[in-house]
Amino acid sequence: MAEHGLRHRRLAVTSCSPCFTLENSVDIQEVPMTKSVVLADPRGFCAGVDRAILTVQTILKAAESSGKLHREDGLPPVYVRRQIVHNKHVVEDLAGQGAVFVQELSEIPDAAAAAGIPVVFSAHGVSPVVKSEAQRRGMHVVDATCPLVGKVHREVLRFVREGYEIVYIGHKGHDEAVGVVGESPEHVHLIEHESDVDSLDFAPDTKLVLLSQTTLSVDETAGTIAALKARFPWIEEPPSSDICYATSNRQAAVKLVAQQSDCVVIVGSANSSNSVRLMEVAQEGLGERGKAYRVDDANELDPSWFEGVESVGISSGASVPDELVSGVIDTLRNQGFTGMKSVETIKENMHFVLPAELRRKK
């Protein structure tokens, strides 16, 4: 399929296990100028987002190769339940290539299931109820759930089998949280804030374990975890953190960027949990010195934000294509921010293979 629309970094899909290399140093490359951009690195796409987008692109490419991109029966080449990732530009681009996005499986006609049209589950994961409905209707499901989110789902099932009650820190209504809680609604107790701990009531002999949404941060959950441990000293934590590596890395980078900037712009959609949190982390780093903003793209920039500003920090959420960041940089360059400083905190080399449903076809 000819490349068009947004360009996405491609994944290496030959390895069956993720790899991750770290360089625990801060590498700052500077081109000194009067007014400059301070660019966070890492930023943008994480491995789970890359994998989810590539999943839909792979299905579209296969449909085009087989002459089924535009079917005689009027059915699309692929359905995607909810936004594949929380970025409107990515969704619009894939929709322009032929993907049809639905909120619920009930929007997909029976004829599509009978024809074997692929139905992709988004990177945020789904509950067993959704999986059961798809199975009942005979849908050809391709599950693009991020493997790190899938890990939390498996933890829920394991701890429930072992007789635990699970306290889950997450955002109510977020697709990821809905899917995780849906694994065992009677045993998973969702809380958002430290103040929510008071609403929980467990007997001292209750086996308790703490899990969290992957797009939160260590800083964001610290107060809530401390309150949980104070009230329920016996609560356990999983062997490894549920917080996504990309979430932690991007927040660490934006903290340093904020220290060197007069204001910070985060590129990301309003419904992206990690993008919103990046803006909050940037604001915490700026303090009273300046303000942090979130935009979907360069069109939302307000020139008044940069009056009297010498340096603008820039980062982006884990579901944001880098060309959207480039658009912001270009706009700022036209406003006189011609210098460039890159703040690199860590090297990322995480890759996830395509979903099994697609690998089996190769």
Are the beta carbons of 138 and 113 closer than 8 angstroms?
yes
**What residues form DSSP beta bridges with 311?**
36
Q: Tokens 């609604």 — which residue?
A: 185
**How far, in Å, CA of 5 to CA of 187, rounded?**
44
Q: State phi, psi for 175 to the nearest 5 degrees.
A: -55, -40
Residues taking part in catalysis = 176
**How far, in Å, CA of 188 to CA of 208, rounded?**
10
Q: State phi, psi for 355 to the nearest 5 degrees.
A: -55, 150
- Which residues in the chain belong to E strands, given as ranges? 27-31, 36-41, 79-81, 100-102, 118-121, 140-143, 165-169, 188-191, 208-212, 263-267, 292-295, 311-316, 339-344
Amino acid identity at 256: L
Return the structure tokens found at 4: 């068009």
**How far, in Å, CA of 88 to CA of 198, rounded?**
37
Are the beta carbons of 49 and 123 closer than 8 angstroms?
yes
Are the beta carbons of 121 and 175 closer than 8 angstroms?
no
Per DSSP, 82 falls in state S
**How far, in Å, CA of 136 to CA of 39, rounded?**
48
Radius of gyration from C-alpha coordinates of the chain: 22
